[in-house]
Amino acid sequence: MFAGATADRDDAAYVVVGAPLDVSTSFQPGTRFGPDRVRQFSRTFEDYDHGTGKSFSALSVHDHGDVHAWDDAAEYLDYLEGVLTDVLWDDGIPVLVGGEHTVSVAGVRAAEPDVFVALDAHLDLREEYDGNPFSHSTVTRHALDVADEAYVVGARSGSEAEWERAARGDVTVVEPEDVADWAPDFSGDVYLSVDVDAADPAFAPGTGTPEPGGLTSRELRRLVRDLAPAASAFDVVEVNDRDDGQAAVLGAKLLRDFVFSHADSA
């Protein structure tokens, strides 16, 4: 269980759902262990948050456990979408923990946001990768089937075709050097997705496709806290078991930051 996620399901304002999908990782696999590692390293934190004056255990968070993954990603996404839709129908906020970034597709389909915001090293705008239309590198493209626009914050990697696609009016790329001066300006519901590889590998080496030149953990925390009040759903993904817990502890902290900031704005 995620530390402090002690609320009953019927009373929950936030529902943590693990999605240990790990079928399309193209470099370092292991995201199937991500949800459990994020839960494990959540135990290191104090319950109390000085910034908001709130205790995590008092914010009506429930841990649903993991939605067991299987090899058919398209079929799994359909099932996971149903689980997350149930949370929304019960007036809860889905807090999805991956698993590879592909699981965000289910979250976006369930939440039907106006805006998709991904903190991510990669554009993820491919049509397919190695013949797979549900690769982790296609997430932003799938999100644009639902959302009107997408923001990719921290991006520093993509194919030539992806950068050309990103130049169209429905995508905004905020590169790492521009993050400090970026002030979010959008209207409507937001789906906030955090791929832990948005962080520089110095802060989170345990991820599938590490990319140097990324964001600091402090920058990521600020972004999540700033964006949380506008979000109707959240995920943190691409944590694996290839480090000593750096990626997992960062993922757990960002999840808590989201809940604290969202609850404080309610």
- Flag whether 67 is in a domain: yes
- Flag whether 4 is in a domain: no
Which parts of the chain have pLDDT scores under 70?
A: none
Residue 186: predicted pLDDT: 86
- Flag whether 45 is in a domain: yes
Residues sharing a CB contact under 8 Å with residue 186, sequence separation 6 or more, in sequence order: 114, 115, 149, 151, 230
CB 162 within 8 A of CB 168: no
- Flag whether 1 is in a domain: no
**The tokens 């991904």 sit on which residue?**
118
Closest-CA residue to 197 (of 181, 185, 213) = 213
Closest-CA residue to 21 (of 88, 86, 98, 92) = 98
- Residue 18, Cβ neighbours under 10 Å: how many? 22
Q: What is the rounded CA–CA span in Å between residue 40 and residue 162?
A: 36
Residue 24: predicted pLDDT: 82
Amino acid at 10: D
Q: What is the rounded CA–CA span in Å between residue 183 and residue 48?
A: 28
* Three-class HEC string of 8-32: CHHHCCEEEEEECCCCCCCCCCCHH
pLDDT digits (tens, 9 = 90+) for 177-223: 999 999 998 889 999 999 999 999 999 999 999 999 999 999 999 99
When divided into structural domains, the chain yields a total of: 1
Q: What is the rounded CA–CA span in Å between residue 22 and residue 174?
A: 28
- The pair of structure tokens assigned to 40 is 């494990």
Residue 211: predicted pLDDT: 97
Sheet bearing 231-237, strands edge to edge: 61-66, 14-19, 93-98, 231-237, 190-195, 115-119, 149-153, 171-174
Residue 154: predicted pLDDT: 98
Q: What is the rounded CA–CA span in Å between residue 241 and residue 239?
A: 7
Identify the CATH number of the domain in which residue 141 sits. Answer: 3.40.800.10
Burial 212-229 (b: 16+ CB within 10 A, else e): eebbebebbbebbbebbe
Closest-CA residue to 211 (of 198, 225, 193, 195) = 198
- Flag whether 199 is in a domain: yes
- Flag whether 246 is in a domain: yes
Question: Which residues span the domain enclosing 184?
Answer: 9-265
The number of residues making up the chain comes to: 266
Residue 131: predicted pLDDT: 78
- Flag whether 2 is in a domain: no
- Flag whether 189 is in a domain: yes
DSSP secondary structure code for residue 183 in this structure: -
